[in-house]
Amino acid sequence: MIIDDSNTIRKSAEIFLRPSGCEVLLAEDGFEAMSKIVDNQPDIIFIDIVMPRLDGYQACMLIKKNPIYQSIPVIMLSSKDGLFDKAKGRIVGSDDYLTKPFTAEGLLNIIHKALD
């Protein structure tokens, strides 16, 4: 699942992942993502930090506090490669961090690392 308020980021991730056989779910923000997570239980979640309504930190915390979904790896996405953002992501339960813009190889490497 890719959660990002940028249509470009969502579509890029989908274009990178589909040829590898990944089923890709897309959501524009944390609120939309929550219902899709309940309905689909994705294997991995990539979530942008800065989004309207429900940001990535808040959404990650909600996912990780729910016993049904807490085992799903959550990867924070950000255009900043800052130590503060990475630390805050870890505090709310994220499993890893990927800096935007990302490559197909970068996305797939994180998926393999998180699911192995």
Q: Where are the domains of the chain?
A: 2-115
pLDDT at 33: 95
CATH number of 2-115: 3.40.50.2300
pLDDT at 17: 95
Over range 20-44, report the average pLDDT: 95
What's the chain look like in SS3?
A: CEECCCHHHHHHHHHHHHHHCCCCCEECCHHHHHHHHHHHCCCCEEEECCCCCCCHHHHHHHHHHCCCCCCCCEEEEECCCCHHHHHHHHHCCCCEEEECCCCHHHHHHHHHHHHC
pLDDT digits (tens, 9 = 90+) for 89-111: 999 999 999 999 999 999 999 99
pLDDT at 116: 83
